[in-house]
Structure 1
Amino acid sequence: MICTYLGIDIGTSAIKAILVNERGEEVVSASVPLTTTRLHPSWSEQEVDQWWGGVIAAMTELWKDQRVDKSTLKGIGLTGQMHGAVLLDSDCRPLRSAILWNDGRAVNEAAYLQERFPLLAKEVGVLPMPGLTAPKLLWLASNEPDVMEKTRWLLSPKDYIRYRLTGEIATDYSDAAGTWLLDQERRVWSKAAVNAVGLSLSQLPPLVESDEVCGHLTGEAAKLLGIAADLPVAGGGGDTPVGAIGFGCVKAGDAVVSLGTSAHIFSPTVSYKPAVESVVHSFCHALPDLWYQMGAMLNGASAFGWVCSLLGEDAGVVDARLHERYDGPGDMLFLPYLTGERTPHNNPHARGVFFGLSPTTDRESLCQSVMEGVAYSIADGRDALTGSGTVIQRAAIGGGGAKSRIWAQIIASVLNIPIIRYRGKERGPAFGAARLARLAVEGGNPYELCREPEIEEVLDPDQSYVGHYRENHQRFKRLYRQLRSEFQGEGGDVR
């Protein structure tokens, strides 16, 4: 009998579940959309129990497929959006909505941490930024002190789902890495960082490896999900490193470009290599004794979705039109900083800008400029990694935006490296979570199991366009520098 493993991803836009067999093949998948609340322009929150309802709905959808034999399921792996602040009381009930990774309210708190504790960034892997967990805790202490007084546990999004599945309170090193509270090199909670935000170590969950069993499915959860009780649940990890595991990005020299709601360029390292001056994120990977460096950009495929929605267009239809008419780089520029930016600017006040509009500008020109603007921001991230000693010579591409062949080709030409499109490239972190479930249950060599998927195609840079794109990237960087002072104070109401 073939065994199967379940991966669950608590994403920003949706709950995603995928069932994978022991040959590494997808059996079936399901997705349930999520709603994000923005009470103020820079805020971003989700109801915590919406995630649990989404998991139940996704599982119900999975079991409708006639190809599924639930008796083959041997383990569950978890992943999810990083940096979210989930606060539980002494009864493990949510005290408020989760504050997400793309929330920008804690601008002043991030600045305070940088000014007051300038040396901590090298220990915790990155400069303090509003979207990270720690600055949000300071904001809550000032604005919702009753919540902080009642807080028994601080969790990340996927760890709340672990609690609902198993009754266990825990997190893994890769998700803890995104809180600004972990000593990345020693892989322990940083006492200095915890003290800086007014927490105690007792409010933080125990740390586990991503590929270890961390609890078993309770009878109550099993009944709600329609599966057997006592199934092992793996430690799991943050969506960025777990997505990389799905692509087999587990060795130094490997690289992944992700085009999800946000965008990033990611490469593993065999030692901890902080590069905070470049706004590079240096975090624990979701495998033991492995780290990674990453350029993290806040605006990825969401920027393309935004412009298509603004124009009343279907993103897939626009993508098809762009593929047909593309004839090289456009002259219009788009700064994609709709929700601020991390790498390389660490500027929560930055905003989106179209530059170069003319009477001949049409819908396709606008949309192509958005694709190119995101590609230039990824190039900024790549350059930051290069400056810190991580050289990328080729990269896989994943996330929802990876379904666009023309966008992947643009990125190849902007970065001037081959871009690899795998079969199942849009499966995302849920596939990596299923791999972690198998490792937790069966053991084995993670570098053997976490191999790269089947290659669909390799897109080489179009050398006839590389020079023009290089010039446009320089214009893109100059435009940001010219506008940087204009962005200050435009971050919305962060109280």
Structure 2
Amino acid sequence: MSYLGVDLGTSGLRALLVDADGAPIGSAESYYAVSNPASGWSEQDPSDWLAALDEVVAKLSSNHSAAFKALRGIGVAGHMHGATLLDDAGDVLRPCILWNDTRSEAEAAELDQTTEVRELSANIVFPGFTAPKLVWVKNNESETFEKVAKVLLPAAYLNYHLTGEYVADRSDSSGTSWLDVKQRAWSDLLLKASTMSLDQMPNLVEGSETAGVLRSELKSRWGLTGEVVVCGGAGDNAAAACGIGALREGDGFVSLGTSGVVLAARDSFNPAPDTALHTFCHAVPDQWYQMGVMLSATDSLNWLSRIMATPPADLTKALGTDLKAPGDVRFLPYLSGERTPHNDARIRGAFTGLSMNSDKEELTRAVIEGVSFGLKDSLDALKSTGAKIDALTAIGGGSASGYWLNLLATVLDVPLKIPTGREFGAALGAARLAMIAATGASPSDIVAAPETGFVMQPNSDLTAAFADAYQAFRTAYPAVKNIQ
């Protein structure tokens, strides 16, 4: 038997085929574009996702024919919050409005002030969430809004394509502002707040439960026989948590990706919306997770890389291996606004402390220090809810830099575990959820942590200096906001 994990990302789709023990067999990727038709807008054509899925399936079935024909389960992880609007025939009405689209800032602020919305949804209503997007469509594309029969998140849309069923998992649905996150059910009050109705929502399942079976037309096209279970799947961060083994209280990771995430699994429901933490259902029953999100993590370094015409890896390599004390130049990493802890779509980045002596190395240090301080904002918010975090697993492209890992461990003042191998992300998590759904196995038997290659300990000689620098970083946000 084999299982397929699909990671539907913002810039591309990745599929991972694993065997009955969860060991990787092969993977394939396909890429597509994001459309930005106006400032702050970010959209995607869902047909591009289907074309990408066809491409990766063709590659896997060609390169791993025998294993692919033994496929028994599929799990889909997807980028969260996207609004894919379907009419009563199941056809897409307009391009999907993505997670990083900020056009509905005013609608989000109004919803966030509506009685009981924060309490039931357990979160601030961010402009990137799904509910305010639908209010924006109602206000600006009324003819389209009147035709909306179903609203599906990106992963749920792939589930619909695979099974013909309107079904979504609870972890992904937690980011809509329509889900009662404590009760793990659609809320009539939250739906009515944005003039939506229950019949426009997909059916809910846990990510590790069966959502349906692969449609006969796809089975035939893919050359498969026998029943192929499609599980509920997960939002991308819940799936990544399943891939890294973060299932129970005390498990967590920090991701140095395009955006930055500090995530902690929770055994109980402990919302803290005022901190701008996300509190979401996990992809398995009776578990939750919380995470702080910063919008520009390695994207901040990528921005500096473009300005300096120097590859990001070369910028960090030039810093050497020995961690230096905090620099005089400070960077606020708010190039696209910020979520945790500020919930500020309008704030923008800044350098302070520049002098005639400021050079490429000093600016690089300032950028990665600023990103690390931004991630500490999220860690401190998590700790304020009672989360016990003794160590974190470090993932994402930025974790390839030894200097940055040393810096981050010191700023966060927690050990960072660096996993061996390459397969511990959302695609693996989605495949694991498919295994659970298809076999009936216990999540704790399937969702295991990867082997740790080494542990980066905080630099005790510099933790106090970086703690002081972090406090200075915290005071810079309101000062910069006042002059922007």
Query: TM-score normalised to the size of structure 1?
Result: 0.93
C-alpha distance after superposition, 1:190-217 (max 9, x if no partner) = 1111000011110000001111121122
Taking the aligned partners of 1:229 and 1:46, their CA distance within structure 2 comes to 34
Indicate how the Cα distance of structure 1 residues 38 and 171 shifts in structure 2: closer, same or farther if over 3 A, else same: same
Q: Is the partner of 2:285 in helix, strand or coil?
A: coil
Q: Is the partner of 2:461 in helix, strand or coil?
A: helix
Q: Which residue of the partner structure matches residue 86 of structure 1? A: 84
> Are the aligned partners of 2:301 and 2:368 in contact in 1 as well (CA < 8 Å)?
yes
Taking the aligned partners of 2:115 and 2:147, their CA distance within structure 1 comes to 29
Q: Is the partner of 1:374 in helix, strand or coil?
A: helix
Query: Shift of residue 226 of structure 1?
Result: 5.4
Q: Is the partner of 1:31 in helix, strand or coil?
A: strand
User: Which of 368, 371, 380 is matched with 1:371 structurally?
Assistant: 368
1:163 equivalenced with 2:163 (yes/no): no
Which structure 2 residues correspond to residues 385-400 of structure 1 after superposition, within 5 A? 385-400=382-397
Query: Shift of residue 68 of structure 1?
Result: 6.3
Q: Is the partner of 1:233 in helix, strand or coil?
A: strand
Q: Which residue of the partner structure matches residue 14 of structure 1? A: 12
> Are the aligned partners of 2:269 and 2:288 in contact in 1 as well (CA < 8 Å)?
yes
C-alpha distance after superposition, 1:336-365 (max 9, x if no partner) = 112111111011111121222233333333
Aligned residue pairs, count:
484
C-alpha distance after superposition, 1:449-484 (max 9, x if no partner) = 111111111110111221222122112111112112
C-alpha distance after superposition, 1:411-434 (max 9, x if no partner) = 111101001111245642111001
1:246 equivalenced with 2:263 (yes/no): no
User: Which of 107, 111, 114 is matched with 1:109 structurally?
Assistant: 107
Q: Is the partner of 1:376 in helix, strand or coil?
A: helix
Q: Which residue of the partner structure matches residue 73 of structure 1? A: 71
Indicate how the Cα distance of structure 1 residues 11 and 164 shifts in structure 2: closer, same or farther if over 3 A, else same: same
Taking the aligned partners of 1:262 and 1:432, their CA distance within structure 2 comes to 19
Matched residue type, 2:266: T
Matched residue type, 2:475: R
> Are the aligned partners of 1:135 and 1:197 in contact in 2 as well (CA < 8 Å)?
yes
Which structure 2 residues correspond to residues 222-301 of structure 1 after superposition, within 5 A? 222-225=219-222, 227-228=224-225, 230-301=227-298
Query: Shift of residue 164 of structure 1?
Result: 1.3
C-alpha distance after superposition, 1:147-198 (max 9, x if no partner) = 1111110010011111111211110111110101000111110111100001
Taking the aligned partners of 2:64 and 2:385, their CA distance within structure 1 comes to 50
Taking the aligned partners of 2:220 and 2:348, their CA distance within structure 1 comes to 46
User: Which of 89, 93, 96 is matched with 2:94 structurally?
Assistant: 96
Taking the aligned partners of 1:19 and 1:83, their CA distance within structure 2 comes to 26
C-alpha distance after superposition, 1:87-124 (max 9, x if no partner) = 11111111111111111111111111122x14220210
Query: Shift of residue 438 of structure 1?
Result: 0.6
Matched residue type, 2:417: I
Q: Which residue of the partner structure matches residue 195 of structure 1? A: 192
Indicate how the Cα distance of structure 1 residues 474 and 207 shifts in structure 2: closer, same or farther if over 3 A, else same: same
C-alpha distance after superposition, 1:287-318 (max 9, x if no partner) = 10011222122222222223223333323333
Which structure 2 residues correspond to residues 50-61 of structure 1 after superposition, within 5 A? 50-61=48-59
Taking the aligned partners of 1:43 and 1:359, their CA distance within structure 2 comes to 38
Query: Shift of residue 41 of structure 1?
Result: 2.4
Matched residue type, 2:45: E
1:404 equivalenced with 2:401 (yes/no): yes
Query: Shift of residue 261 of structure 1?
Result: 2.4
1:313 equivalenced with 2:310 (yes/no): yes
Query: Shift of residue 325 of structure 1?
Result: 7.3
1:429 equivalenced with 2:430 (yes/no): no
Which ranges in structure 1 are unaligned for 5 or more consecutive residues? 488-495
Q: Which residue of the partner structure matches residue 415 of structure 2? A: 418
User: Which of 351, 355, 358 is matched with 1:354 structurally?
Assistant: 351
Query: Shift of residue 238 of structure 1?
Result: 0.5
> Are the aligned partners of 1:56 and 1:225 in contact in 2 as well (CA < 8 Å)?
no
User: More displaced, 454-463 or 348-357?
Assistant: 348-357
Q: Is the partner of 1:389 in helix, strand or coil?
A: coil
> Are the aligned partners of 2:5 and 2:76 in contact in 1 as well (CA < 8 Å)?
yes
Indicate how the Cα distance of structure 1 residues 468 and 10 shifts in structure 2: closer, same or farther if over 3 A, else same: same
Query: Shift of residue 271 of structure 1?
Result: 1.8
> Are the aligned partners of 1:399 and 1:427 in contact in 2 as well (CA < 8 Å)?
no
Q: Which residue of the partner structure matches residue 462 of structure 1? A: 459
C-alpha distance after superposition, 1:14-35 (max 9, x if no partner) = 2111112233322222222231
Q: Which residue of the partner structure matches residue 490 of structure 1? A: none
Indicate how the Cα distance of structure 1 residues 196 and 461 shifts in structure 2: closer, same or farther if over 3 A, else same: same
1:131 equivalenced with 2:146 (yes/no): no
Of all paired residues, the percent bearing the same amino acid is 38
Query: TM-score normalised to the size of structure 2?
Result: 0.95
Query: Shift of residue 133 of structure 1?
Result: 0.7
> Are the aligned partners of 2:435 and 2:441 in contact in 1 as well (CA < 8 Å)?
no
User: Which of 328, 332, 336 is matched with 1:335 structurally?
Assistant: 332
Q: Is the partner of 2:365 in helix, strand or coil?
A: helix
Indicate how the Cα distance of structure 1 residues 151 and 355 shifts in structure 2: closer, same or farther if over 3 A, else same: same
User: Which of 339, 342, 345 is matched with 1:345 structurally?
Assistant: 342
Taking the aligned partners of 1:39 and 1:398, their CA distance within structure 2 comes to 32
Q: Is the partner of 1:322 in helix, strand or coil?
A: coil
> Are the aligned partners of 2:72 and 2:227 in contact in 1 as well (CA < 8 Å)?
no
User: Which of 465, 476, 481 is matched with 1:479 structurally?
Assistant: 476
Q: Which residue of the partner structure matches residue 22 of structure 2? A: 24
Matched residue type, 2:41: W
Q: Alpha carbon RMSD of aligned pairs, Å? A: 1.9
Taking the aligned partners of 2:222 and 2:318, their CA distance within structure 1 comes to 41
Q: Which residue of the partner structure matches residue 493 of structure 1? A: none
